[in-house]
Amino acid sequence: MTYSIKFVKKNEQTTNLWSGGKTTQLAIYPEDADYSKRNFQWRISTAAIEVEESLFTHLPGIKRVIMTLEGEMELVHEGKHSVVLKPFEQDCFDGGWTTRSKGIVRDFNLMVSEGWDGGLTCIQVNKDIQDLMLDVTGTAEVFYCVDGMVGVEIGEEDPLVFETGDTLIIMRENLSEEMSIKFRRKMEKMVTIIRASMVV
């Protein structure tokens, strides 16, 4: 097997306080990396911004991608650009910039260090889609269930039940080997999943 799978249930994740609210780390690579030491190659988290205006942590050398999950947020990058993000809209920027956010929201964060690249995609499995098959193309792929419940099938692995707040991490060693993941809808309501794809 040239890939590994890690399934992290919502109740296994760690939430910490920061100056603007709360943040939950969903995945970090390498696994023994420490965000406070900035020795990660990539990191994925969610955050609840609970103040009307906050200043982002200065992270030079880190590419950041932020997607709003709930609420509306304005990002102001000093001397660069500003953008207003509605749910599931995203912005990509340099962590070394001076960035302020305005608005009380919940968001999804991807950070990648030099040598890596990455992006976010919002996937919605609605009542018209019973099964959704996706090709796995990145060196690392992380899926986060925003709401709802779906079954997950990966190759010959045992099926998983993917629920609100759960995180699925796939690490691949052989990018030439074809791999796919299937989401099988289990409920009538729409299911929203955020996909983060990282490549080195």
| pLDDT of the chain, 200 residues: tens digit per residue | 588 999 999 999 989 887 778 899 999 999 999 998 999 999 999 999 889 998 998 999 999 999 999 999 999 999 999 999 999 999 999 999 999 999 999 999 999 999 999 999 999 988 777 788 888 888 999 999 999 999 999 988 888 999 999 999 999 988 888 889 999 887 778 899 999 999 98
Residues 6+ apart with CB under 8 A from 140: 29, 42, 169, 170, 171, 172, 197, 198
Classify domain 11-114 at the CATH superfamily level: Jelly Rolls (2.60.120.10)
What's the rounded Cα separation, in Å, for the pair 29 and 39?
A: 9
Question: Range(s) for CATH 2.60.120.10 in the chain?
Answer: 11-114, 118-199
Q: Do the Cβ atoms of 123 and 194 come closer than 8 Å?
A: yes
- pLDDT at residue 1, as a whole number: 57
In three-state form (DSSP H/G/I as H, E/B as E, the rest C), the secondary structure along 138-169 is CCEEEEEEEECEEEEEECCCCCEEEECCCEEE
Alpha-carbon distances, residue 51 vs 1, 10, 31, 162 (angstroms): 46, 24, 31, 31
Classify domain 118-199 at the CATH superfamily level: Jelly Rolls (2.60.120.10)
> Residue 64 forms beta bridges with which residues?
93, 111
